[in-house]
Chain A
Amino acid sequence: MKKSMLRTKNLVFEYIRRDEEGNVEDILRALDDVSLEVQKGEFVAILGHNGSGKSTVAKHINALLSPTEGAVFVNDMDTQDEEHLWDIRKSAGMVFQNPDNQIIATVVEEDVAFGPENVGVPTEEIWRRVEESLTAVGMTAYRTHSPNKLSGGQKQRVAIAGIMAMRPDCIILDEPTAMLDPVGRKEVMKTVHELNKIEGVTILLITHYMDEVIDADRVIVMDEGKIVMQGTPRQIFSQVDKLKGYRLDVPQVTELAYELKKQGVPMPDGILTVEEFTAAYTAVKAKYGQGSV
């Protein structure tokens, strides 16, 4: 049976800017009536351009921000309920964009232990969890290294291990690859998918890289603080013009198929990979053409 992991209900968040005397100068609505739900075990991606409000949603789920209106639930616990604060942060861990600014300790294993230490896990149990988490992200060989000497992708995997050590049900990743090179991005995405498939961790990935959401179960597109599109990657990427209107992009093959269709080649919508394109093109050619196929 499907069970709800995360839920936001008509979430509104406003930044209030005040002048020097404390009078309200400006109210900025960063989130406007956002209602979304993520089931246990799902891999959901939130897409949106910089400033679309996607990171603000993430901070609400971790109770780092408190809603102006509406409510947020993690494992059916209200994030505004002070009593559950630590339980919420334990079950919904968060990985941030800058790998340098979330590693606290100067030795990899000590950093992974930071979370469990905070919630009072006994020493032997901490060691067990550190071992398991480092294995899950493939960083065991670096356990006694200094984080400063690691690559961006490795640092980000250490950060993920630090969250895993809290035994979360869900990990929220806020643009985890934005500051990484292609190799680092691949490393991190591979790790995240493995955690989802092997460890059964629910994933909420926030990004603006299209290629990272192709393998998600579901994609949510945000613009100006609102949810504007929702569906499977294929449904979302079928709407090339709409996505571009939201300052987003589609994979090259998706765009190419779309452009060909505009020129009268009857390509299907929502092509996501090279293989799909090749199959579709040879198929339409066989049907309508007499060329080489």
Chain B
Amino acid sequence: MIRDITIGQYYPVDSPIHRLDPRVKLAGTMLFLVSLFAFSGYLGYVIAAVFVGIVIKISKVPFRYIVRGLKPVLILLLFTLLFNVFLTREGKELFSWGIIHIYDQGLIIAGLMAVRLILLVIGTSLMTFTTTPNQLTDGLEKGLRGLKKIKVPVHEIAMMMSIALRFIPILIEETDKIMKAQQARGADFESGKLLQRAKALVPLLVPLVVSAFRRANDLALAMEARCYHGGDGRTKMKPLKYKKRDAVAYLILFGYVGLVIGSGFLF
């Protein structure tokens, strides 16, 4: 069901990862993503996987919960997998039928690609699971504040992101409700050809957009009524301050990156 999507949601427990400064987690995620494409050789995969495994363990987010978040990217995953399997023409041919040729290298590359993608999704979702959207946007706002000098509206972007994250679950629930209401009027979202299916989305999208605008309007009023006037002169309930543990985390991160990149040269 549509409500099962967990990606991008905060998982409220207390763990050392949750307590880290969001800037560490943002930088960590970036570094991790880069590292995934920086190594060559199997050992890199092992190190990256072990690293993610340890972080998951420390974060106290249940593994099953994380796996559920993978569901939406399954199609993408499958697509890349097939793409690699069918289009790679290297190594020994294992199977051939008509225009379809499958080589052993294709299978290996596809498998490795899948692992990379899964690690990538888990890595990014770990950040959102352990960081509230507010912390995340605070982290972005402060981490990128240098860009303000070249007139990038860092605060506004951060605020927009945090509001988007707050309203995603509400809009998902609303989509579910409208879908059911239209189904009760005989609408069919599940069968039919592509064009028919696309047409069937109109009764869903129009009310959804109308509702999103109504909410946006309400929210703007509510924010104004609470004296919101942009980032100038704003204070913070939870200002960001690096602590000792953040320094330790940075050290571990750099250690990991060094290890991953180094692993390519070692073997």
Contacts and interface: CB of A to CB of B under 8 A. Distances in A.
A and B touch in the complex (CB under 8 A): yes
A56 interface: no
B169 interface: yes
Contact of B237 (A90, A119, A126, A148): A126
Interface in A87-107: 89-90, 93-94, 96, 98, 100-107
A66 interface: no
A120 B215 CA distance: 27
Interface string B188-227: 0000000000000000000000000011001101111111
Interface stretch (A2-10, A108-116, A231-239): A108-116
B225 A62 contact: yes
B30 to A, nearest CB: 22
A173 to B, nearest CB: 12
Interface stretch (B38-46, B145-153, B160-168, B255-263): B160-168
Nearest to B221: A64
A102 B215 contact: no
A114 B224 contact: no
Given A101-B215, A120-B234, A107 B227 contact: no
A165 to B, nearest CB: 9
A75 interface: no
Given A102-B218, A103-B166, A105-B162, A123 B134 contact: no
Given A106-B133, A146-B12, A117 B236 contact: yes
A110 B10 CA distance: 14
Contacts of B219: 101-102, 104
Nearest to A122: B235
The residue among B162, B234, B239 with the most chain A CB atoms within 10 A of its own CB is B234
B166 A126 contact: no
B94 interface: no
B226 A114 contact: yes
A98 B12 CA distance: 25
Contacts of B224: 64, 89
A109 B226 contact: no
Nearest to B229: A118
B132 A110 contact: yes
B225 A123 contact: no
A127 interface: yes
B235 A120 contact: yes
Contacts of A116: 235, 237
A276 B132 CA distance: 53
A104 B235 contact: no
Contacts of A127: 237
Contacts of B234: 117-118, 120
B233 interface: yes
B92 interface: no
B: contact size bracket? 20 to 34
B157 interface: no
A106 B235 contact: no
B218 A146 contact: no
Interface string B86-120: 00000000000000000000000000000000000
Is the contact region of chain A dominated by helix, strand, or loop, or is it mixed?
helix
Interface in B224-267: 224-229, 233-239
Given A100-B170, A117-B236, A106 B225 contact: no
A284 interface: no
A245 B205 CA distance: 40
Contacts of A121: 235
Contacts of B218: 96, 98, 101-102
A146 B227 contact: no
Q: Among B133, B170, B236, B237, which residue has the most Cβ atoms of chain A within 10 A?
A: B237
A163 interface: yes
Contacts of A100: 170, 215
A114 B162 CA distance: 13
B134 A107 contact: yes
B32 to A, nearest CB: 24
A166 B226 CA distance: 8
Contact of A117 (B221, B225, B235): B235
Most buried by A among B10, B12, B215: B12
Contacts of A62: 225
Interface string A77-93: 00000000010011001
B236 A123 contact: yes
Given A110-B134, A148-B170, A126 B235 contact: yes
6 nearest A-B residue pairs (beta carbon): A102-B222, A101-B218, A113-B237, A115-B226, A118-B227, A94-B225
Given A98-B218, A105-B166, A113-B237, 20 more contacts: A89-B226, A94-B222, A96-B218, A101-B215, A101-B218, A102-B222, A104-B166, A104-B219, A104-B222, A106-B134, A110-B237, A114-B226, A117-B234, A118-B226, A118-B229, A119-B227, A120-B234, A123-B239, A166-B226, A166-B227
6 contacts: A94-B222, A101-B218, A104-B166, A115-B226, A126-B237, A144-B12
